[in-house]
Amino acid sequence: MPVVTESPAKRLQEAIRGQVVADAPLGPYTSFRIGGPATLLAVPADREDLKTVLAFAKSERLPVHVLGGGSNTLVRDAGFRGIAIRLNAFQVLERRDNDIAAGAGVRIGRLLAFGCRQGLSGLEVLSGVPGTVGGAVWGNAGAWGGATADTLTTVDLVTASGDERRLSRSDSPFRYRASGLPEGSVVVQAAFALAPDDPAAIRRRISGYLVRRNASQPVEYRSAGSIFKNPPDDYAGRLVERAGLKGTRIGNAMISTKHGNYIVNLGGARAADVLALAAIARERVRTIAGVELELEIKVVGEE
């Protein structure tokens, strides 16, 4: 009789308490709302589940991508032949003296609201930044001259080999839009050192940043945030605007008319459209300004 082999999804589901979905479309889990399916989507219930998922991926020789809140991410149209991980269950959020500990799955907006209620200041510069704590730490997300690493004290990781590690801020070479954390590791929790302040004053600063963001960025459309990193001593959006590309459209993707460093989904855009626009912008800026723009978004999956 032929041997009946259980599907990878079933085998992984039997090994963890969390959820596993086969051939899961990833677009709905990204801020762009673009992208094909992952071979598997895993939502671990805890750190032990996460270790099991990473071990399974290694044994099956499947790459792993942690989606976080799905911002700063473009999934290709053909999808991702690997395991996508969402850390929804990692929701620790607690005050420890003047520090806040936050799980990787905590939304940045929720973290800021908690800090405000606790009268703890230092995170306001992240107001309006989409995504989760884990993604913000991994990519050192920031805005208005500030960054996640500014108040970060420790990061808890699960490494690719399944070990748990706690790193201090000084253990990793954080820089502009990068953390330098060990490749293949997954952020599960972070702690931030903050300063006591009047909640009303914190709330006013948050509101001020949100007003600035809403006035300058195309928040009315789906996007992945800034497409390019800012080059030294300049702004990617300014260079794209100088190249005369604002409003340029391919399919249902368009370089924003409000901010040159945003490509927006007008509805039903494909990843190929977004990447084609990014390529045009890079080529034109290179020609006009002699500057090589570097993608800030993470492109995931197969061409």
CATH for 187: 3.30.465.10
The predicted pLDDT at position 75 comes to 98
pLDDT digits over 157-202, tens only? Answer: 999 999 999 999 999 999 999 999 999 999 999 999 999 999 999 9
C-beta separation of 225 from 218 below 8 A:
no
The predicted pLDDT at position 155 comes to 98
Q: Is 1 contained in some domain? A: no
Question: Of the residues 215, 243, 265, which one is the last residue of a structural domain?
Answer: 215
Together in a domain, 149 and 230? no
Together in a domain, 136 and 247? no
| CATH code at position 258 | 3.90.78.10
Is 177 in the active site?
yes
Looking at 79-184, list the stretches that DSSP marks H as alpha helix, in order from N- to C-terminal side: 108-118, 133-139
Q: Is 3 contained in some domain? A: no
Mean pLDDT of 1-22: 85
Q: Coil, strand or helix: which one is 118? A: helix
Together in a domain, 163 and 104? yes
Is 172 in the active site?
no
Q: Is 37 contained in some domain? A: yes
**Cα–Cα distance between 264 and 278 in angstroms, integer?**
11
β-strand pairing of 298-300 with 80-85: unpaired
Question: Of the residues 85, 120, 145, which one is the last residue of a structural domain?
Answer: 85
Together in a domain, 108 and 183? yes
Paired tokens of 45: 């219930």
pLDDT digits over 130-167, tens only? Answer: 999 999 999 999 999 999 999 999 999 999 999 999 99
- The closest of 68, 51, 61 to 104, measured between CA atoms, is 68
Q: Which among 86, 226, 270, 284 is annotated as catalytic? A: 226
Paired tokens of 34: 């673009």
Question: Of the residues 187, 215, 243, which one is the last residue of a structural domain?
Answer: 215
The predicted pLDDT at position 248 comes to 99
Q: Is 114 contained in some domain? A: yes
Together in a domain, 266 and 294? yes
Question: Distance of CA 181 to CAs 143, 156, 264, Å?
Answer: 20, 11, 30
**Cα–Cα distance between 94 and 125 in angstroms, integer?**
20
The predicted pLDDT at position 35 comes to 97
Q: Is 42 contained in some domain? A: yes
C-beta separation of 166 from 190 below 8 A:
no
The number of domains in the chain is 3
> What range defines the domain where residue 36 resides?
8-85
pLDDT band at 1 (very low <50, low <70, confident <90, very high): very low
Paired tokens of 98: 């003047």
Together in a domain, 13 and 32? yes
**Cα–Cα distance between 227 and 248 in angstroms, integer?**
15
Together in a domain, 180 and 209? yes
pLDDT digits over 234-293, tens only? Answer: 999 999 999 999 999 999 999 999 999 999 999 999 999 999 999 999 999 999 999 999
Is 226 in the active site?
yes
**Cα–Cα distance between 257 and 246 in angstroms, integer?**
5
The predicted pLDDT at position 3 comes to 42
The predicted pLDDT at position 5 comes to 62
Tell me the backbone φ, ψ of residue 51, rounded to 5 degrees.
-60, -40
**Cα–Cα distance between 102 and 111 in angstroms, integer?**
7
Q: Is 144 contained in some domain? A: yes
Kindly list the strands in the beta sheet with 64-66, ordered across the sheet, starting from the edge strand earlier in the chain: 19-25, 37-43, 80-85, 64-66
251: left (phi over 0), alpha (psi -120 to 50) or beta: left
C-beta separation of 173 from 155 below 8 A:
no
Q: What is the dihedral of CA 27, 31, 32, 36, to 10 degrees?
A: -10
Together in a domain, 242 and 268? yes
The predicted pLDDT at position 4 comes to 45
Together in a domain, 144 and 200? yes
Q: Coil, strand or helix: which one is 66? A: strand
pLDDT digits over 65-119, tens only? Answer: 999 899 999 999 999 999 999 999 999 999 999 999 999 999 999 999 999 999 9
Residue type, 112: L
| CATH code at position 31 | 3.30.43.10
Together in a domain, 161 and 235? no
Together in a domain, 35 and 103? no
Together in a domain, 116 and 202? yes
Q: Which among 177, 205, 222, 238 is annotated as catalytic? A: 177
